[in-house]
Amino acid sequence: MNFFSLCFQSSDYEPSLPVTEKSNPLTRDIDRASPSGIVGMLEACDAQMFQRETGTNYQRLFDDQVVTTLTEVAKRVELILKDPQDSLVVLSGCGTSGRLAFFIASRFNEALKQLNRTLVYSYIIAGGDRALLSSQEAPEDDPELGMLSLQKVCEGKKRVLFIGVSCGLSAPFVAGQLDFCLQHPEVYTPVLLGFNPTHQARDEPIPGCTFTFRSVAQRLQELAQRRKAFLINPAVGPEAISGSSRMKGGSATKIVLEVVLSAAHAAAFSHTPVANDGILQHMREYERAVEMTYQHREGIAALVEAAGRSLQNEGGVCYLGWGPMAFLGLMDASECNPTFGAGERKKRWRGFIRGGYKDLNNNEGPLSSLGPDFCIAHEDFLHQVLPSLTDRDTVLLIYTQSDDLHEVVNLGRKVREKTSNIHAVHHRTDSVEALQQVTFLSFGLNKLCIFDTFWQWELSTKLVLNAVSTGAHILKGKIYRNHMIDLQVTNSKLYRRAARLLQVHKTVAHMILEYTYINQDTLTINRDNNWDKHGPCSVQVVPLALVSLLTGCSLKQVESRLEQRQILRDALEELIP
Ligand code: S6P
Query: Looking at 374-513, which runs of residues are DSSP E strands?
Result: 394-400, 422-428, 446-451, 479-480, 483-484
CA distance 5 to 52: 12
Alpha carbons 25 and 323: distance in angstroms, whole number: 37
DSSP assignment, residue 386? G
Which one of 22, 24, 94 would you pick to mutate in the ligand 1 pocket, going by the greatest count of ligand atoms within 8 A of its CB? 94
197 lies in a domain? yes
The upper half-sphere exposure of residue 267, i.e. CA atoms within 13 Å in the direction of its Cβ, equals 24
Beta-sheet strands, E only, within 228-327: 230-232, 317-321
Within a domain: 484: no
CA dihedral 535, 541, 543, 546 (to 10 degrees): -140
For residue 112, the enclosing domain spans 64-274
- Amino acid letter for position 120: V
Give the separation between CA 196 and CA 235, rounded to whole angstroms. Answer: 6
Nearest CA to ligand 1 atom 11: 95
pLDDT of residue 534: 41
DSSP reduced 3-state for 447: strand
8 Å CB contact between 181 and 162: yes
Domain closes at, from 250, 274, 298: 274
Q: What pLDDT shows up at residue 401?
A: 82
Ligand 1 contacts CB of residue 403 (under 6 A): no
Radius of gyration of the chain (CA): 23
Q: What residues have CB less than 8 Å from 148, skipping those under 6 apart?
A: none
- Rounded to the nearest angstrom, the distance between the alpha carbon of 165 and the centre of ligand 1 is 10
493-519 core/surface letters (b: 16 or more CB in 10 A; e: else): bbbbbbbbbbeeeeeeeebbeebbeee
Confirm whether 46 is domain-assigned. Answer: no
Q: Does residue 331 line the site of ligand 1, with CB under 6 A?
A: no
User: From the CA of 23, how far away is ligand 1's center (Å)?
Assistant: 16
Ligand 1 center to 190 CA (angstroms):
20
Task: Return d(Cα 569, Cα 477) in angstroms, integer.
Answer: 8
Please give the single-letter amino acid code of residue 429. T
Question: pTM score > 0.80 for this model?
Answer: yes
CATH number at residue 179: 3.40.50.10490
Give 536 Cα–ligand 1 centroid separation in angstroms.
16
CA 373 remoteness from chain centre: 19
168: Cβ below 6 Å to ligand 1?
yes
492 lines ligand 1 (CB under 6 A): no
Residue 523 pLDDT = 31
Assigned domain for 424 exists: no
Q: Are 544 and 559 in contact (CB under 8 A)?
A: yes
Helix axes 541-551, 568-575, angle to 10 degrees: 20
Q: Is 48 in the pocket of ligand 1 (CB under 6 A)?
A: no
User: What value of ipTM does the predicted structure carry?
Assistant: 0.99
CA of 575 to the centre of ligand 1 (A): 33
Beta bridge pairs of residue 398: 321, 425
Instruction: Choose the final residue of a domain: 249, 274, 299.
Output: 274
CB 166 less than 6 A from any atom of ligand 1: yes
Residue-level pLDDT at 346: 65
Q: Report whether 125 contacts 132 (CB < 8 A).
A: yes
Is 179 part of any domain?
Answer: yes
Do 122 and 160 contact (CB within 8 A), yes or no? no
20 domain residue, yes or no: no
Question: Is 335's C-beta closer than 6 angstroms to any atom of ligand 1?
Answer: yes
What is the number of structural domains in the chain? 2
Output the pLDDT for position 526.
38
Q: Is the CB of 338 under 6 A from ligand 1?
A: yes
Reading phi first (left if > 0) and then psi (alpha if -120 to 50, else beta), residue 209 is in: beta
In a domain, 123, yes or no: yes
Residues 6+ apart with CB under 8 A from 212: 175, 201, 202, 203, 204, 205, 206
Residues in the chain: 577
Contact in structure between 397 and 427 (CB atoms under 8 Å): no
Alpha helices in 295-428 (DSSP H): 297-312, 325-334, 336-340, 357-360, 378-380, 405-416
Mutate to test the pocket of ligand 1, among 137, 195, 232, 245 (most ligand atoms within 8 A of CB): 245
323 domain residue, yes or no:
no
Q: Which residues contact 469 (CB under 8 A, 6 or more apart)?
A: 307, 317, 332, 333, 335, 336, 349
Q: How far from chain centre, in Å, is Cα 149?
A: 22
Q: What are phi and psi of 286, to 5 degrees?
A: -65, -40
Atom number of ligand 1 nearest to Cα 491: 11
CA 223 – CA 182 distance, rounded (Å): 9
Q: Are 349 and 336 in contact (CB under 8 A)?
A: yes
Boundary residue ending a domain (246, 274, 302): 274
Compute the distance between CA of residue 231 and CA of residue 199 in angstroms, rounded to an integer: 13
Backbone angles phi, psi at 441, to 5 degrees: -60, -30
* Cα–Cα distance, 101 to 193 (Å, whole number): 11
Predicted confidence pLDDT, tens digits, the chain (577 residues):
555 566 677 777 777 899 999 999 999 999 999 999 999 999 999 999 999 866 677 899 999 999 999 999 999 999 999 999 999 999 999 999 999 999 999 999 999 999 999 999 999 999 999 999 998 878 999 999 999 999 999 999 999 999 999 999 999 999 999 999 999 999 999 999 999 999 999 999 999 999 999 999 999 999 999 999 999 999 999 999 999 999 999 999 999 999 999 999 999 999 899 999 999 999 999 999 999 899 999 999 999 999 999 999 989 999 999 999 999 999 999 988 777 764 455 668 999 999 999 999 999 999 999 999 899 999 999 999 999 999 999 999 999 888 888 999 999 999 999 999 999 988 876 544 434 443 443 344 556 655 556 667 899 999 999 999 999 999 988 888 898 876 666 677 877 776 676 655 444 444 443 443 334 333 333 334 443 444 444 456 666 666 666 666 777 777 777 677 666 666 666 665 4
Q: What is the whole-number distance in angstroms between the Cα of residue 454 and the centre of ligand 1?
A: 27
According to DSSP, residue 52 is labeled P
Q: Could you tell me the distance, in angstroms and rounded to a whole number, from the CA of residue 360 to the centre of ligand 1?
A: 21
- The verdict on the CB of residue 95 being under 6 Å from ligand 1 is yes
From the CB of 189, is ligand 1 less than 6 Å away?
no
- The phi and psi torsions of 395 (rounded to 5 degrees) equal -120, 135
